[in-house]
Amino acid sequence: MNVIVTATTPFPDQKPGTSGLRKKVSVFQRPHYLENFVQSIFDSLEDYAGQTLVVGGDGRYYNRHAIQVILRMAAANGFGRVLVGRDGLLSTPAASCVIRKHGAFGGIILSASHNPAGPDGDFGIKYNTSNGGPAPEKITDAIHRRSLEIREYRTLDSDDINLSKTGHASLGDMDVEVIDPVADYAELMETLFDFDRIRALVGNGRFRLCFDAMHAITGPYAVEILGRRLGVPADALINVEPKEDFGGGHPDPNLVYAKQLVERLYRDDGPDFGAASDGDGDRNMILGRHCFVTPSDSLAVLAANARLMPGYRDGLAGIARSMPTSQAADRVAEKLGIELFETPTGWKFFGNLLDAGRATLCGEESFGTGSSHVREKDGLWAVLFWLDLLAARQLPVQEIVSRHWAEYGRNYYSRHDYEGVSADGAGELMARLRELTGSLAGKRYGDYEVALSDDFSYTDPIDHSVSERQGIRIVFTDGSRIVFRLSGTGTEGATLRVYLERYEPDPARQALDAQEALADLIGIAGEIARIRHHTGREAPTVIT
């Protein structure tokens, strides 16, 4: 087969964000756009000739075409082997699992995570390194630099590979192995959790659950692991057929977009346990009957109960959380006598800690939880952890959470998202907050006095790299916090995220609605940041 070298010119907008490059499908469909970025990835790597690459995605629109492009370019650039999920499918955590298990050089994951899909939706691509985790900033910066100077890309003159069945095929000198996208991941899950114990729970005739795959990648994983291996009835698994447009839905597992699941769990006769995962399978939402477990609380509860799980009986080395995530996990780490790390948002910041054995569990408030078993957050892993916990404790979700609060105190916590606001307005809001950070200490807002205000900076304890401007923190003398960030996961306008937190140690005062308990802080956040003025919004798009 002939290698084709195609002349091209750079695109100025190929800077990867916290989770790779995300744009509208129509942008990726522009001539040379996808090829430029893929070649920029390969040009930024060293010593990969003859090595193994893992490729897969969340099944969204354009996934199939992009994978064929990547396969031909990987062959033309000298990779010796590619492992690709059947039908081009691999959840993000499963891709990390496959990279690690098979000793791959790295992987290319096609996903825009929880963003909408379809011809008018979003598409994304990111590179993961040999540890299975997202490329660190030194690599993504190199990819961006290369994308600004690229002048040609390499591909093969060849037909598409049949991805519909497992087996081997050749592209030039490169072996392409189409693999079962679920098998390696399912095998790993069985080493971490007590499947017999979960089987007994779901088969006792009293316990009912509902899992919503949101017509995204975790559908096949849920059918195989929850259904075939654990015995969960088929009617308890909803929206399990992956669709290129996610069924027209928004595959973000939160109280707004997972409406069908939430309505089921908030009925008086609803299931005992509910969960959802997102577009590429790395996020999760956990529900009990009439009960929503915040991602921050979920991380803390799982950490406090980890020794009950077969894969974590030796205890935790440490816990890592993103800075905006509530401090609930900090209290667990303190009681367990282990390290707690506060990092910027973005799973790549956990990689060094996990590789160095300094952390075992990690979590972000954006519905992401995971552990050292892979180097990505992992939605179905979190669901299995909760199911095994429920089987071990034999208590309802709400009771487990309430007992946790009684022991550790409750961190009232909420995130307010203002989605699709003017990028200019959001930028002005953040710039004004940065100007204010040096002058807020000592100021009073009602009953609250500012103790600290800064723009969070992180020094990695392993490689000592520094990441600055990671979010504005306003910390009050009683430990309450307000955090402001602009999200890097959208493709239109900007998303302003406002995080609010207040600690309540008294069990008698832990049953308030979170928005009620945080009402004063919500008002203060609006006052300090002038949110209405800069966004033109009267209220958040999503509250979690």
- 445-452 long-range Cβ contacts below 8 angstroms, 24+ apart: 445/524, 445/527, 445/528, 446/520, 446/523, 446/524, 447/520, 448/476, 448/477, 448/478, 448/480, 448/520, 448/521, 448/524, 449/476, 449/477, 450/474, 450/475, 450/476, 450/477, 451/475, 451/476, 451/477
CB 82 within 8 A of CB 71: yes
Q: Helices 328-336 & 295-304, crossing angle to 10 degrees?
A: 10
Measured distance CA(460)–CA(458) in Å, rounded: 6
What is the C-alpha R_g of the chain?
A: 23
Q: Is 416 helix (H, G, I), strand (E, B) or coil?
A: strand
Say how many C-beta atoms besides its own lie within 10 A of residue 363's C-beta.
28
Tokens coding 58: 């969340």
Measured distance CA(132)–CA(354) in Å, rounded: 11
Q: How far is CA 359 from the centre of its chain?
A: 18
Measured distance CA(158)–CA(419) in Å, rounded: 42
DSSP states of 355-378: HTTS-SEEEETTTEEEETTSSS--
Measured distance CA(494)–CA(491) in Å, rounded: 8
Q: Hey, what's the torsion of the CAs at 367, 369, 374, 379, to 10 degrees? A: -50
> Which residue's entry shows tokens 């105190």?
409
User: Which active-site residues does the annotation give?
Assistant: 113
Contacts of 101 (CB under 8 A, 6+ apart): 184, 188
Contacts of 495 (CB under 8 A, 6+ apart): 417, 418, 419, 420, 421, 426, 486, 487, 489
E strand or H helix at 83, and its extent?
Answer: strand 81-89
Q: Is 430 helix (H, G, I), strand (E, B) or coil?
A: helix
Q: Which amino acid is at 406?
A: A
Tokens coding 541: 């798009």
Residue closest to 83 by CA, chosen among 176, 195, 194: 176
Residue closest to 487 by CA, chosen among 326, 376, 321, 366: 366
DSSP state of 536: -
Q: What angle do CA 340, 193, 290 make, to 5 degrees?
A: 75
Tokens coding 169: 């095929």
